[in-house]
Structure 1
């Protein structure tokens, strides 16, 4: 009888994660893999200087399933590609240091691949606050709302079916041979771009609610604004590459912020422009308030005072970032290095 085992490779980028790296490694050792599957873990460290490398090296010495991969590029896309170059598995699972996973996370990824025949599978993007009260709780609650996210399926914990993108991802090795690796010009949105590339070539991206994980969302309004401004900034570079948006919802915040800016500028010489600016502002505030009431009804009324601020930040920071991105794209400029910095 053959005793050969198949390998699944986990790839994960990290930089300066001293407080999280050991817990992440420990959680991976608790994964329940299907019979006959072996685990390989490649963690790309972006030249950490806070002790992460030393902790990771110590773990790798004690468990030879773990390998530290050097990532001189220091960004997610270069780290993922470095891991892909060394991965031996027939299936590749991307994981994130700040996310917590169900013990059958990898097993459910493998099952979804087999069930769907997709080129990439993943679970819903579920936010968990650092603390159950205050700003962290409001940020996480708003994040989970499909109304805030423009109807994105990624917030639906139960959805099973095709989507435009998924959180993290799990690919047959053949997907990378067919569609290539991650775009190293992108500091953010490299996941969305890769999924858009798959779908543009006729491939399938699949989400399954059985793939369970929770992501630790940002904890302050400032962190949230910086994060979503970055997401917005990098989206035009993805659109320039493919000549299309992955979804209309990626365009809406930038269009709204841009239109309001034009109306405000024109209001200095036109009463009609001022009326338009005030009308759109009022309609948006009413929409934000209605959304805040819907979110608070599900997540708790104690969050209501903070929710309008949080919802506005999600949209306006993303929209402002998009406009900055489009300004650089249309002028043919290279991406601004300031948008490559970590936002935690």
Structure 2
């Protein structure tokens, strides 16, 4: 578990791991980044209270670097990747190990079930769980078990990780997808079991969400530079939205200034149609009845979806044009000291 500024979530995440019922020995290796909110001190207290918890340093603070440090320090033949911003469902590890054995796969993952506590976080969670929000990735809600392109978190055979070279430490975001690509290219299978569920807690504010998605988009653009067509078409929808929006702004300015007039103006107005369709889609998503959603959650949905898509799209275009370079997920670099209720 890579950990950085997760004081509000760490104790719950650790408890969900240690409560897993397993027939053999297990350990939880925390890779500690340079937190500023008391996370490191909390991790040390947790480790002092349970000898299954081990601590390693991750001074670089990058997720793949921390993951590799934790894997290298681990002692058992199966690696269960966990996240400090998530909680494993009861029985997760036991079922994942059984699925790993039953299928012979190298990596087994389940479904990311996003959840929230505030109206904003609930709106983000709903977007995460919808094909509209994140483009319909299999681990965002499929009910079909079988081979998959990638796996959320993942339960992996250590021997295969050693074979393919662990996580690529030059990839700051999308490291799971890149690792699973190498696993599949090495002739192994990645498997999705939808009965495996992990609760994920999204970012708690609009600004953090925008920064997270910009960084994620930039690294997807970098992965497109590196691997081209191996990236699914769904990854190109947000940058297409950004380009269409920019084109619509240009057309609008030309129409208002009279540069475009008459038949040319009418024909150019076609560029607005995709944006009208997108606005209607977002509105339907926000206003759709059911689910016990509050008025504030519905309002936040109107802001959350465009924020996710446009931030991701801007980041993607920058990543394709110049590479991700030193782009990091700045939303993880600071947090308030407020404990969970």
TM-score (norm 1): 0.85
Where 1:123 maps in the other structure, the secondary structure is strand
Question: How does 1:235-314 map onto structure 2 within 5 Å?
Answer: 235-265=220-250, 268=254, 270=260, 271=265, 274-294=268-288, 296-298=289-291, 300=293, 302=295, 303-314=297-308
> Cα deviations across residues 171-201 of structure 1 (Å, max 9, x unaligned)?
0112212222111122211112112222334
**TM-aligned CA deviation for residue 90 of structure 1:** 0.7
- What 5-or-longer segments of structure 2 have no aligned partner? 336-341
Q: 1:285-316: per-residue Cα shift (whole Å, max 9, x none)?
A: 1232334345x445647443332322222222
- Paired residues for 1:166-177 under 5 Å: 166-177=151-162
Choose the corresponding residue for 1:335, options 297, 306, 325.
325
Matches of 2:19 and 2:329, distance apart in 1:
36
Q: CA deviation at 1:151?
A: 2.4
In structure 1, what is the Cα distance between the partners aligned to 2:82 and 2:195?
Answer: 16
Match of 1:84 in 2: 71
Counterpart of 1:138?
Answer: 123
How does 1:1-344 map onto structure 2 within 5 Å?
12-33=1-22, 35=23, 37-131=24-118, 134-156=119-141, 158-265=143-250, 268=254, 270=260, 271=265, 274-294=268-288, 296-298=289-291, 300=293, 302=295, 303-329=297-323, 335-337=325-327, 339=329, 342=332
CA contact (8 A) 2:29 2:56 kept: yes
Please, which moves more after superposition, 203-212 or 116-125? Answer: 203-212
Q: Deviations over 1:237-292 (max 9, x none)?
A: 12222233431111111123124324533663553674133223212212323343
Q: Give the gaps of 5 or more residues in structure 1.
A: 1-11
More displaced stretch, 209-218 vs 77-86: 209-218
SS at structure 1 position matched to 2:332: coil
CA contact (8 A) 1:148 1:291 kept: no
TM-superposed deviation, 1:68: 0.4
Whose relative contact order is higher, 1 or 2, with alpha carbons under 8 Å and at least 6 apart?
2
Distance (whole Å) between structure 2 residues aligned to residue 273 and residue 79 of structure 1? 53
CA distance in 2, matches of 1:234, 1:75: 13
Output the CA distance in 2 between the equivalents of 1:104 and 1:338: 33
RMSD: 2.4
Aligned to 2:338: none
CA distance in 2, matches of 1:61, 1:166: 32
- Please give the per-residue CA displacement for 1:52-102, whole angstroms capped at 9, x wherever unaligned: 223323333343222100112111110001111111111000001121222
Worse-matched range after superposition: 259-268 or 37-46: 259-268
SS of 2:13's equivalent in the other structure is helix
- Partner-residue secondary structure (3-state), 2:80: strand
Q: Does the aligned pair in 1 maintain the 2:13–2:88 contact within 8 Å?
A: no
Task: Please tell me whether the aligned partners of residues 263 and 276 of structure 1 are also in contact (alpha carbons under 8 angstroms).
Answer: no
Flag the 1:312–1:48 CA change in 2: closer, same or farther, 3 A.
closer
1:210 is paired with a residue whose SS is strand
8 Å CA contact 2:212, 2:330 repeated in 1? no
Aligned to 1:188, the other structure's residue is in SS state: coil
